[in-house]
Chains A and B, each alone.
Chain A
């Protein structure tokens, strides 16, 4: 167990809908990053939050947005869902900014868009 919890574990949505995924980071960790992993591929960096501010973003459109709360938990929101958004979404927490220390991953949320 890594102490990083993601919810829900599985989700089915219809194209065009909106979805919110949640991540509870490990206690004391102030940095959360989100990744999209398509089947058979490595995880792709979406964005990172440090102390409630976005401080890094990958090559994803603006309809992917996020939030980090004062307790350092985080949300990933995706608007106008497309079929290609179907993937495993992973959340990682670490105790300091960026990758300066060890990352701990949750078990992921499997999103299916139909």
Chain B
């Protein structure tokens, strides 16, 4: 069974900092990996999708890397803003989507 671990569980930073969110997963037999953000009590918004054959994806201030063989992915957030405050979920995908408990990010103005 796929186990997903995200470190840190919670993070509080001042506005403008560059951030690194880490994700590890136990089963490297995945089709792809998605990063989502979730605002409190809301659904999931897709941020980035990395296919298993890719190493990284970029969208604006976000960059995600994938090392499938070692079961690791990293989300970089540049120049953080208060609007980035949310829970970030790393989701490796096999025949279903596997979730950890995410990283709760608070960006302080």
B-binding segment of A13-21, A68-76, A78-86, A100-108: A100-108
Q: Is A61 an interface residue (CB 8 A)?
A: no
Residues of B within 8 A of A103 (CB): 34, 46, 91, 93, 97
A33-B96, A107-B43 known; A42+B32 contact, CB < 8 A: no
The residue in chain A whose Cβ has the minimal distance to the Cβ of B102 is: A42
Q: Are A98 and B96 in contact (CB under 8 A)?
A: yes
Interface of A (DSSP majority class): loop
Q: Is A99 an interface residue (CB 8 A)?
A: yes
Q: Which interface residue of A44, A102, A104 has the most chain B CB atoms within 10 A?
A: A102
A97 to B95, CA, bound (A): 8
Residues of A within 8 A of B41 (CB): 88, 108, 110
Q: Are B43 and A105 in contact (CB under 8 A)?
A: yes
The minimal Cβ–Cβ distance linking B12 to chain A, given in whole angstroms, is 17
Contacting residues of chain A (21-66) with chain B, CB-CB under 8 angstroms: 33, 35, 40-45, 48, 56, 58
The total of Cβ contacts below 8 Å across the A-B interface reads 76
In the complex, 15 of the A-B residue pairs with CB atoms within 8 angstroms, ordered by the A residue number, are A4-B43, A33-B97, A35-B99, A42-B89, A45-B97, A92-B44, A92-B97, A98-B94, A99-B32, A102-B46, A103-B34, A103-B91, A104-B46, A105-B36, A108-B41
Other A-B contacts than A42-B102, A44-B99, A99-B96, 12 sampled, CB-CB below 8 A, are: A2-B46, A35-B99, A56-B96, A98-B93, A98-B96, A99-B30, A99-B93, A99-B95, A100-B93, A105-B43, A105-B46, A108-B42
B interface, CB within 8 angstroms of A: 4, 30-32, 34, 36, 41-46, 49, 89, 91, 93-102
